[in-house]
Amino acid sequence: MDFRSLKVYEISFGLAMDIFNLTKEFPKEEKYSLTDQIRRSSRSVCANVAEAYRKRRYPNHFISKLSDSDAENAETQSWLEFAYACEYIDKNTKEELNQKSLEVGRLLNYMINNPVKFGVSKE
């Protein structure tokens, strides 16, 4: 199995791409702040999942990387709130993206709580 076939990776990658495309329309003055921040945090979610999967031989590293991914996911939710408050996205868009992010969070927490199901050896 490859990390790209993990459901959490698929959804988080899709979310990052949705955010990338959406932020193309953000004001130019946000390029080095909100646009940059939300793109980085959303991309870090799936990047950390990939790293975690490669480190599944080491249970603590696996869980640590997934925890990092979960934190980046929460950061992405925060930036979505700012984008909505600044009126760069509408309520429906915010809710749709937030729902995807919540699903990613549920999947990450499942992986954290059940590492053996993802090839992590018992200590």
Look at the domain 3-115 and name its fold: de novo design (two linked rop proteins) (1.20.1440)
Whole-prediction pTM: 0.94
Domain-wise residue ranges, the chain: 3-115
Residue 62 CA to residue 87 CA, distance in Å, equals: 38
- Is 25's pLDDT higher than 90? yes
| Averaged pLDDT score across all residues of the chain | 95
pLDDT score of 119: 87
pLDDT of residue 120 exceeding 90, the answer is no
Give the span between the Cα atoms of 92 and 123, in whole angstroms. 45
The terminus-to-terminus CA distance of the chain in angstroms comes to 22
Give per-residue pLDDT as tens, 44-86.
999 999 999 999 989 999 999 999 999 999 999 999 999 999 9
